[in-house]
Structure 1
Amino acid sequence: MKFSLILLLAGASVSVQRGPAQAPLAPAPLHIQMPTPEGGARGDPKLTGKARLPGFAPELADMPRISSPKGWGGQTMRQALAGLAGSRQNTRQSARWVYAKTLISQDRHAEALGVLDVMLQDDPDLALVANYELARGVVLAALARPEEALSALDRDELVGNTEACFWRARAFAQSGLNDDALREFGCARAALAARTGPQRVPFLSEMAEAALAKQQPELALRWLAAAPDGDATANIMRGRAHVAMSDYGKARIRLGRAERSGDEAERYQARLALIELGVAQRTMGLKEARREVDRIRFVWRGGPIEEQALRLSYSLAKKAGDARGSIAAGATLIRYFELGSELPPLVADVQSRLAALLAPGNKMPLSEAAGIYWDYRDLMPAGGEGDRLVAQLADRLQASGLYARAAELLEHQLRHRALDIAQGPLSVRVATLHVLAGRPDRALAAIRDTEGTIFPQQMLWDRNRIMAVALHQLGKTEAALSVLDDVPDASGLRTELLWKRRDWGRLVAESAASLPPADSLNEVRQAVVLRHAIALGMLGREEELARLRTRYQAGFSGLPTAPAFDLLTKDAAGVEAESLSRAMSAIPSASPAGIYADLLDVAPAPLKSK
């Protein structure tokens, strides 16, 4: 019977073919053929734009509008199932509708949603009918899917509908939109009155929750008066309202009753409220309260209980002055729960606590601060304040030699926060830190992954310079030199690359145009001239060496490098290897590559074996 109903809901036609007469014991194969529009393959009606079972949408639109819980009843489940089983193709949608309403009347909302989805697949026009969207909104709100529920119930035809108001109020409360939920109460009053006592409890509890969030415990108690006196859920809300009013005796009684009579979930909810009451009365210390809340969070995950536990954990951590604990609880609430109007102030509070922990003056160890940033990087303040905190933390990491950590921190900023032209200087810094960490491949990725942005010319040149350094670290010096072809003022970096490569011919050609004046030789200029002399000597270009000697001999006079210059520029044939080695070691360590010289000397980190 159940399988036949599934086939009817899906709209399948069933044919059973028996095996040959001489094999009566063989099982009969079941062939299910899914009828489709125009005989084609069954597809999504939303994509094809065709209804497989059209015609019921106008019929449903002509039916009286459902405006109370009585509108979902009318037939027993047996009658609804019999109607569905006896339906034909032209009456199947109508039978499904009766079946869906009967399921709603019996609070079997998940099953009702399945039926409604099948109906919509077979006729997309149903989404234009108020009664259908009301039914869909009801089951989605009952299943705690508030955003979808509100989307279904947001129709002009349902604005004053008391049943729609009832479920809209619940969906708003579930989303944390407490003001909107409270505004719907007046319209929903008639639908509430049409329900029995136990049926009212979920609605009244959610409304009471909204009232408590708005610091209106008296209003919450007035509404809860319509709920049965012994209902555990209602008593939990009554107890919380009494706590908010500092009426602790009544609160203990209500919460104690709920803890005794409720199911497992209600007992945990009551226990959390009693912990809050104990802290308020100072009969339970903060340490004990936090330990008890942590225990409940360990054994229960998800839903309103975990949300309540997190809220209490957040509040207790703040009272205890535990910034990290409050951030952890607040971040979990923000990431995984619908908070509605409570979200902006909670985000602001968590961000302010993060900023205080990450500020340079905080005494927290740098490694812990970096870990906190990484754990909560999605909650960092937006705009300049957040960028400043990240930059300050990166500066501290870099100053401590933690280049890889600093690079990863700023790389997240580069890929997820920086926009357009701001990616230019940030990409250069990230690449520089990766080079310092011995990860030239990551440096190249930081540059290449941000090539889609149009940068000013100067910024492009800066990016090319650090790219050349990374390429050299990867052993691709020729590619590095090619990157620098169109970069002005890159002669110093190019000559450094050629010097390290021992490319004497190109080094002479590159450095000849940038030889300094002879009358002011600082360490960098001395290095340029001496390297040029070595290259000429290696090439055996004696005449050019002689001219270099004539030009700079007076300038080197009296300098510590004068002996080296004298040795390198006299007759190269008479220079002994040992003397040449001493001369080369006397060349100043200052480099014409400037700020890039130290980067070029960083050895790439060894690759990690998998």
Structure 2
Amino acid sequence: MTVTFRRELAGSVAELVFDAPTAAAVFARGDALWFVFDRAGAEAARVAGSPLAELGAILPLDVPGGSGFRLSGPAVPPQVSGDGTNWRFLFAPAAQPPATPLVASPGADAEGRMRLVARIPGIRPPVQIPDPDIGDRLTVVPVAQPGAGVVVGARLPELELLPTAQGLAFAPLSDDVVASAEGDDLTIGRAGGGLTLSDVVPAPSSVPRALGEKVEGGLDVGAWSVPGETEATRSRLEREAALAAPTAKTERRMALGRFLVANGYGAEAIGVAEILASDDPAVAETPAFRLMRGIALAMQERHGDALADLKVPALEFAADAALWRGYALASTGAKREAYKAFGAGMGAIAHFPPRYQERLLAAIGDAALAADDVRAASEAAASLSARATTKAGKARALALEGRVAVRRSDAVAARAAFEAALATGERVARVDAEMGLIELGLADGSLSRGDAIARLDRLRYVWRGDEKELAVLRRLADLQLAEGQWRDGLQTLRLAEKLFPKDPGVDALRDTEKAAFRRLFLGGAADALPPVQAVALYFDFRDLTPLGPDGDDMIRKLSDRLVQVDLLDQAKTLLSHQVENRLQGIPRSRVAARLALLHLLDHEPAKAMQVLDATEQPVLPETTARLRRLLRARALADLGKAADARTLLAADPSLEAARLGAEIAWQARDWTGAALYMGRLLDGRKPPEHGAPVPEDESLVLRLSVARTLTADAAGLKQLATLWGPAMAQSKSADAFAMLTGNADPSAIVTRNLAQTMANTGAGGNFLGELRTRLASGEGLGD
């Protein structure tokens, strides 16, 4: 078995390749992902040394007859694909659920005992695996067909069926639960008895009370309503509160406030509460007052203020407080915490007018889905449909029914419910219904990403200011980034972050921005953009640049690409920001050398000198120190200080220094210096025994012969002719070399005129051009 791991635009991909067909099961439990295979080879000790360990700690599993491990780190199960021998796992926020949902259906055997039966092609025998953390044992069923898993788990009295990305797994809650595989059928039952399938419920700690169940206790809004005509009763209570004696005002005002809350007049109840708190501060600390004001605030969507009242310890077990506490939590994005609160307050729903029951039931269904309690969400949808008295309530019920159907992998029912919700024309359900249809279209291929982006972009204006708008923005950004619309995607995320700064998911938005920015400028996605667009995108979102080496590497790659296309000004701006604001010490001196090179390429030697002077360090690695010395010499020469440049290069014995020295001397018409440096360059090189020299040696020999001719160095020319003459005779420069070295008197007019002509046309080397080529190719500059 071999393991490979790589980063892609879609996310991180791990591949496990076995030498024979292998079945697998993959699921989350606790803080880890479980990977179980029916064949040896994927033991934790072996996988721990593979690149997969980049995602998290590899923990051992005891798999009878097979192998497996736990991966601690990823919070979301991967998307599974492959061919049974090569298993591919995509770790990404947008990973799709199992392509082939596995469904365990209830049924009775010949003796009438209830059991669960699942038809699973490619099933393997179940194995018992101990959980090292919890101490119980799981029953795991590997499946050979990739992408076959349980989309929605369930909890029964005798077992807990886990959601999986691949295969099937359950935790027995009774010692006599057994599982067996025969052909493609898996059967789960009890030895000697049947399963209890009529009570499939969530964990006892979070079981909501039945809808409409009566709540006992003194803090009961159900007792706050006053019999009689509502308007007449309200007028009477208002009159009594206004005319009451000073000693009775608090009591009468509380009676009015409770009545207003029980009948859904939240704004008016808040007004009464403000007067009460002002005139009698002591009453504002009582549980009854905090309950009355908290519910009124929640009715008016003032969720933060409502939670301050409804979370006081005295109201912990009050059903009405729990109900509206759940509503406020759900509205602020804390869906799982809201689900727990709703579980203690379901019986209080009947205490409030129908229009509020609709809002509460919609929130309950939403929170239940967030907590993976599909049964409770289905009950909420059914109750909402039965209780709704308005078109908006009916539309909400349809949208919730569609979302429940999606979780049950019933695409037909989901589509019908979403379309019916849209047909009502009610804005309150349009976002959920439209987003549901978009996701169904993307899943079955009937809707392209481009069309989905267009629909979501229109949808974001339908409903503003709460989590629904945030959900639309998040999904829109995901699709834009997946489609390569980088600027649009980042701007959408930035807008969501700005509009919802206090949402619990704002950190995830920022993480998505940073991940996209990394894919662009570290992962290479920006290479597909025109350079001007890439640099504009970088500067517009520069605050996403990571700290440390990754950020510096990002800037370097972008600046190198800009050099490739002659955008030197933009490249200089990038490196200047890095030198002035991000770096210190040796890394700063290294990047400053790049910046100095760009100034020299742009014919700005004085600025190159300023950069080098401002970033000098007493101790530098030799490669960095040499590069800076060469750049300084080039700048001095360009400033007309060739003598200072020669002095600087004299102490450098490297070939790079000799090459630059020859170039500077040639440009300064210092033929003696040019001959000296080129002689150093030619030392150690030997002419070939047969044929012409390589082009670099041929050019160097010819230029050295020009320099020696112009200095009338007859002995040097003779030495060149003796050593290199036979090889040069085979070269393209044979005639010129022969004329320069074949005359005994190098000062002869014809010879000198030829040398002068060649000196005027010869470049004498291109030190900056060579550095630019290395920079643009990403080869590096010795750093």
TM-score band, normalised by shorter chain: 0.5 to 0.7
Q: Percent of aligned pairs with the same residue? A: 16
Equivalent residue number for residue 577 of structure 2: 448
Aligned positions of 1:5-44 closer than 5 A: none
Count of residue pairs brought into register by the alignment? 469
Shift of 1:154: 2.2
Shift of 1:405: 2.7
Deviations 1:346-378 (A, max 9, x none): 979985x677645xxxxxxxxxx5556655676
Distance in structure 2 (CA, Å) of the matches to 1:418 and 1:237: 43
Equivalent residue number for residue 415 of structure 1: 543
Query: Which SS does the other structure have where 2:532 is aligned?
Result: helix
Distance in structure 2 (CA, Å) of the matches to 1:189 and 1:231: 21
Equivalent residue number for residue 220 of structure 2: 67
- Find the partner of 2:314 among 126, 148, 157: 157
Aligned positions of 1:431-510 closer than 5 A: 431-433=559-561, 438=567, 440=569, 443-444=572-573, 447-448=576-577, 457-469=585-597, 473=602, 475=604, 476-483=607-614, 485-486=616-617, 488-489=625-626, 490-510=628-648
**C-alpha contact 2:339 2:368 (8 A) present in aligned 1:** yes
**C-alpha contact 2:575 2:591 (8 A) present in aligned 1:** no
Structure 1 residue 223 and structure 2 residue 383: aligned?
yes
Alpha-carbon distance change, 507 to 165 in structure 1, aligned in 2, over 3 angstroms: same
Deviations 1:415-441 (A, max 9, x none): 315133433333333444556563636
Alpha-carbon distance change, 354 to 205 in structure 1, aligned in 2, over 3 angstroms: closer
Deviations 1:285-333 (A, max 9, x none): xxxx89x97x99xx998x6533543343343344324134446767988
Alpha-carbon distance change, 177 to 582 in structure 1, aligned in 2, over 3 angstroms: same
Aligned positions of 1:330-341 closer than 5 A: 337-338=466-467
Structure 1 residue 187 and structure 2 residue 349: aligned?
no
Structure 1 residue 591 and structure 2 residue 767: aligned?
yes
Structure 1 residue 406 and structure 2 residue 534: aligned?
yes
Deviations 1:76-108 (A, max 9, x none): 4686489679999x9999998787666645644
Equivalent residue number for residue 170 of structure 1: 327
Query: Which SS does the other structure have where 2:317 is aligned?
Result: coil
Structure 1 residue 235 and structure 2 residue 394: aligned?
yes
Structure 1 residue 396 and structure 2 residue 556: aligned?
no
Shift of 1:383: 8.1
Q: TM-score, normalised by structure 2?
A: 0.46
Name the aligned partner's letter for residue 759 of structure 2.
A
Distance in structure 2 (CA, Å) of the matches to 1:121 and 1:505: 88
Distance in structure 2 (CA, Å) of the matches to 1:464 and 1:590: 21
Query: Which SS does the other structure have where 2:374 is aligned?
Result: coil
Name the aligned partner's letter for residue 313 of structure 1.
I
For structure 1, which segment, 75-84 or 193-202, has the greater mean C-alpha deviation from structure 2 after superposition? Answer: 75-84
Query: Which SS does the other structure have where 1:488 is aligned?
Result: helix
- Find the partner of 2:448 among 299, 304, 322: 322
Structure with the largest fraction of strand: 2
Q: TM-score, normalised by structure 1?
A: 0.57
Query: Which SS does the other structure have where 1:514 is aligned?
Result: coil
Distance in structure 1 (CA, Å) of the matches to 2:401 and 2:774: 69
Query: Which SS does the other structure have where 2:546 is aligned?
Result: coil
Distance in structure 2 (CA, Å) of the matches to 1:125 and 1:439: 72
Shift of 1:225: 7.2
Deviations 1:151-205 (A, max 9, x none): 5422222111122122123234435655544544453244323345555333234
Equivalent residue number for residue 207 of structure 1: 364
Equivalent residue number for residue 559 of structure 1: 701
**C-alpha contact 2:575 2:595 (8 A) present in aligned 1:** no
Shift of 1:211: 5.3
Deviations 1:114-162 (A, max 9, x none): 7767988999999866455434432342233445544542222211112
Query: Which SS does the other structure have where 1:587 is aligned?
Result: coil
Structure 1 residue 535 and structure 2 residue 673: aligned?
no
Distance in structure 1 (CA, Å) of the matches to 2:333 and 2:668: 75
Aligned positions of 1:103-118 closer than 5 A: 104=261, 107-110=264-267, 113=270
Alpha-carbon distance change, 376 to 586 in structure 1, aligned in 2, over 3 angstroms: farther
**C-alpha contact 2:661 2:674 (8 A) present in aligned 1:** no
Distance in structure 1 (CA, Å) of the matches to 2:443 and 2:342: 34
Alpha-carbon distance change, 450 to 418 in structure 1, aligned in 2, over 3 angstroms: farther
Shift of 1:71: 4.4
Shift of 1:506: 3.0
Structure 1 gaps, min length 5 = 1-63, 247-274, 359-368, 601-610
Name the aligned partner's letter for residue 221 of structure 2.
S
Distance in structure 1 (CA, Å) of the matches to 2:283 and 2:566: 61
Aligned positions of 1:257-336 closer than 5 A: 279-280=415-416, 305-319=430-444, 320-326=446-452
**C-alpha contact 1:149 1:171 (8 A) present in aligned 2:** yes
**C-alpha contact 2:521 2:558 (8 A) present in aligned 1:** no
Query: Which SS does the other structure have where 2:767 is aligned?
Result: coil
Report the RMSD for the aligned CA atoms in angstroms.
Answer: 5.8
